[in-house]
Amino acid sequence: MQKFIAREPFTFPNGAIGWRPGGPFDCLGPYAKVENCPIHGTELRRTCYATGYADTYFSVPACTRVKGKYIAGYFTLDDGAISFRPMDRHKDRLPAAQVQED
């Protein structure tokens, strides 16, 4: 699942640890790999990976796995704290007891 190299750590205020590629051409930032990343709308924290470069100023395409199932979504920042937001089409793959409605 990991697409980008992850060399330099960065700790977010919510305890998630982001890894950036580093070097002079690092245009991805600390999103190559994010450990302990909270999944929005749940109590879960998982390792998530960037799947592409930022498609807007506010989000980076990403993915993770929960119980072996692939979940696509994106990273976003809320007051400097990162979170992974799953796509609606993959929310049914999250454990039912964990999902909270917005």
Question: Is residue 60 included in any domain, yes or no?
Answer: yes
75: in domain:
yes
Would you state the torsion angle of the CA atoms of residues 85, 25, 22, 2, taken in this order, to the nearest 10 degrees? 50
The tally of domains found in the chain comes to 1
pLDDT (0 to 100) of residue 56: 79
35 occurs within a structural domain: yes
Rounded to an integer, what is the distance from CA 19 to the centroid of its chain?
11
**Residue 26 covered by a domain:** yes
**Is 67 a member of any domain?**
yes
Domain that holds residue 67: 8-88
How would you write the pLDDT of the chain (102 residues) with one tens digit per residue? 888 889 999 999 999 999 999 888 788 889 999 999 999 989 999 999 999 988 777 789 999 999 899 999 999 998 889 999 999 999 889 886 555 655
Are the beta carbons of 31 and 20 closer than 8 angstroms? yes
Q: What is the DSSP letter of 39?
A: B
Centre a 10 Å sphere on the Cβ of residue 66 and count the other Cβ atoms it contains. 17
